[in-house]
């Protein structure tokens, strides 16, 4: 079991390496361009630039969580991987990738902030949810890890629904979620919930979010345990 899990983890890392390289190349190029423009516009007065790693890495987590599960499962099943080991491997991989991306993004942000302090490029600012709690490196890593694992779990479960039950099954679930969201917005309880979270937010909320992500991921085993190599259309 342990050897198969190691093999699956190696496969997932190798499989995602190319898209990760492209993603970080584009993100870092955007950061360099933003810092450069901010430097040359120092004398322009009130011009300010805002950069956030969060938005980009969260979008990447949604896409990666959906595509990896959908595309990798038939391949690893054909290689002889058991469903239990696939479930364990994806969980470990998503948690490790969430932690690695959170550490990398926030370490780069801390380095750029120090560079800004040294060079006096005060026209560039970084946005992060941690600014609501106390903008430290550790807080940012905890928040991003929790958010990323939650998104990986949610979109991998949605991907499994589409894989196992086709467009009809997955579409019904997504449709129900959209209707609930619209009802919540219309009735105001979603706005009340967000307002309540915003007014009482602390780091415990993000530990709870990580726990919810674990629960959502555990639900994916119900879809994985009898899955086959044939996708339902």
Sorted by where each begins, the domain ranges of the chain are 1-225
- Asked if 84 and 118 touch (Cβ cutoff 8 Å), the reply is no
Asked if residues 153 and 65 have their Cβ atoms less than 8 Å apart, the reply is: yes
Return all residues near 172 (Cβ < 8 A) that are at least 6 apart: none
Calculate the CA 107 to chain-centre distance: 17
Q: Are 98 and 149 in contact (CB under 8 A)?
A: yes
Instruction: Quick: pLDDT tens for 11-62.
Output: 999 989 999 999 999 999 999 998 888 888 776 667 778 888 888 999 999 9
**Can you tell me the distance from the alpha carbon of 223 to that of 215, in angstroms, rounded to the nearest whole number?**
14
The pLDDT, as a whole number, for residue 123 is 82
Cα–Cα distance list, 203 to 64, 137, 152, 196, 198 (Å): 26, 13, 20, 15, 12
pLDDT of residue 1: 67
Rounded Cα–Cα distance for residues 9 and 93 (Å): 6
CA distance 4 to 19: 24
What is the reported pLDDT for 189?
85
Pick from 62, 172, 39: nearest CA to 118: 39
Which residues 6+ apart lie within 8 Å of 2 measured at CB? Answer: none
User: Residue 101: CB partners within 8 Å, gap ≥ 6?
Assistant: 57, 60, 61, 144, 148
- Residue 45 has a pLDDT of 63
pLDDT score for 228: 82
> What residues are paired with 91 via a beta bridge?
none
98 half-sphere exposure, CB direction, 13 A CA radius: 26
| Helical pair 137-187 and 53-78, crossing angle rounded to 10 deg | 90
Check residue 54 and give its pLDDT.
Answer: 87
Q: pLDDT tens digits, residue range 59-75?
A: 999 999 999 888 888 88
Per-residue pLDDT, 224 = 86
Q: Is 126 helix (H, G, I), strand (E, B) or coil?
A: strand
Predicted TM-score (pTM) of the model is 0.89
Q: Output the pLDDT for position 38.
A: 83
Average pLDDT of adjacent 10-residue blocks, the chain of 233 residues: 87 91 93 86 74 90 89 87 92 95 94 86 84 88 94 93 86 89 86 83 89 93 84 73
């Amino acid at each position: 079991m342990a050897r198969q899990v190691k093999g699956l983890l190696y496969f997932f890392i190798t499989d995602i390496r190319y898209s990760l390289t492209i993603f970080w190349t584009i993100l870092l190029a955007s950061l360099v361009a933003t810092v450069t423009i901010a430097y040359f516009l120092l004398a322009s007065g009130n011009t300010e630039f805002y950069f956030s790693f969060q938005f980009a890495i969260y979008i990447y987590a949604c896409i990666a969580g959906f595509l990896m599960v959908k595309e990798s499962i038939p391949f690893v099943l054909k290689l002889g991987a058991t469903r239990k080991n696939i479930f364990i491997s994806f969980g470990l991989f998503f948690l490790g990738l969430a932690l690695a991306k959170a550490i990398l993004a926030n370490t780069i942000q801390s380095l750029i902030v120090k560079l800004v302090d040294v060079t006096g490029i005060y026209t560039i600012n970084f946005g992060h949810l941690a600014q609501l709690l106390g903008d430290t490196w550790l807080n940012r890593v905890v928040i991003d890890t929790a958010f990323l694992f939650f998104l990986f779990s949610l979109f991998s479960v949605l991907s499994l629904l589409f894989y196992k039950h086709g467009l009809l099954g997955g579409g019904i679930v997504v449709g129900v979620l959209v209707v609930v969201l619209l009802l919540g917005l219309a009735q105001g309880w979603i706005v009340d919930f967000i307002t309540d979270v915003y007014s009482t937010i602390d780091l415990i909320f993000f530990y709870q979010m990580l726990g919810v992500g674990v629960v959502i991921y555990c639900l994916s085993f119900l879809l994985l345990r009898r899955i086959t190599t044939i996708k339902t259309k």
